[in-house]
Amino acid sequence: MVKVIFLGTGNAFNQGGRSSSCYLVQGSKNVLLDAGPQVLPGIYGYGLKPSDIDVIALSHLHADHMGGLPFMMLDDKWITKREKPIDVLVPKGGPDLIERICSVYYSQEEVDHIASVFRYTIFEVGDTVEINGVTFEALPALHSAEPKMIFMTMDGKSIGYSGDSAYLEESILKLLEADITIHECTSFNLSIPNHVNYEELSEKISNLASLGRVSASKKIYLSHVDESMEENKDKIKAPFVLVRDRDEVEI
């Protein structure tokens, strides 16, 4: 069985007390899709420890998606002390950015620990990477900071995750082939550059369904949401599901 636990379903602003982007996929490995700043309370709050995490795949290099990595490094240096590093899938420039952030926050001794806790694999649009039997495919996304959508397969089950992106049909069609599809939905009806809102996404998916290009009943889990999504929760209809922190879905 593979399970997705929504550890962080908010965006960069944490409205409603939601944590920033972080999704735990549990199967033969424990994988994090993104690691926002609240990754440590997310992991501990779910009853796991940082040492339980095997792989982290980053959708892009914005702080609400990767800002937890400095905290994970610091935790490992002084508390967790893992015996083998976490595999981290990052775009080019990611390792340097993480080092620069840690250099501002922490001592050189702590910065030097990065190499012991993170083992980087460069992961960019078009790449398919396999880590210990788990595969990750990077799909195009319309955002900034080296964006990508992620199609992940573990134990024969698949998860499609949009990261942050405006509507991009070619990638969404692929995400919808997954057993579980998670799409960002930053607002109910505000047009925000490089993001999608519920009214737009529901209209586009409805059109695809009427053309027979996607199943009308395929659930789409909406995350990376602001307050307006909660305020309009009664208007969110199937196949869409508004998720909240610590919700779980089994495949």
Q: Which residues bind Zn ion (CB under 5 A)?
A: 64, 164
Determine the 3-state secondary structure of 121 from DSSP: strand
Residue whose CB is less far from Zn ion, 37 or 160 = 37
DSSP H or E stretch at residue 26: strand 22-26
State in angstroms the smallest separation of the CB of 147 from Zn ion: 10
Residue whose CB is less far from Zn ion, 20 or 181 = 20
State in angstroms the smallest separation of the CB of 87 from Zn ion: 22
State in angstroms the smallest separation of the CB of 30 from Zn ion: 22
State in angstroms the smallest separation of the CB of 34 from Zn ion: 8
Question: Environment class of residue 228 by beta-carbon count within 10 Å: exposed (0-12), middle (13-18) or buried (19+)?
Answer: middle
Hey, which residues does 250 pair with through a beta bridge?
3
Residue whose CB is less far from Zn ion, 64 or 137 = 64
Residue whose CB is less far from Zn ion, 80 or 194 = 194
State in angstroms the smallest separation of the CB of 65 from Zn ion: 6
Residue whose CB is less far from Zn ion, 137 or 164 = 164
Strands 55-57 and 86-90: parallel
Residue whose CB is less far from Zn ion, 2 or 196 = 196
Q: Which residues contact 158 (CB under 8 A, 6 or more apart)?
A: 151, 152, 177, 178, 179, 180
Cα separation, 107 vs 235, whole angstroms? 50
* Tokens representing residue 97 in the block: 């950015």
Cα separation, 44 vs 49, whole angstroms? 6
CA triplet 17, 12, 179: central angle to 5 degrees? 85
State in angstroms the smallest separation of the CB of 184 from Zn ion: 7
E-assigned strand segments in 110-247: 118-122, 128-131, 134-139, 149-154, 157-161, 180-184, 220-223, 240-242
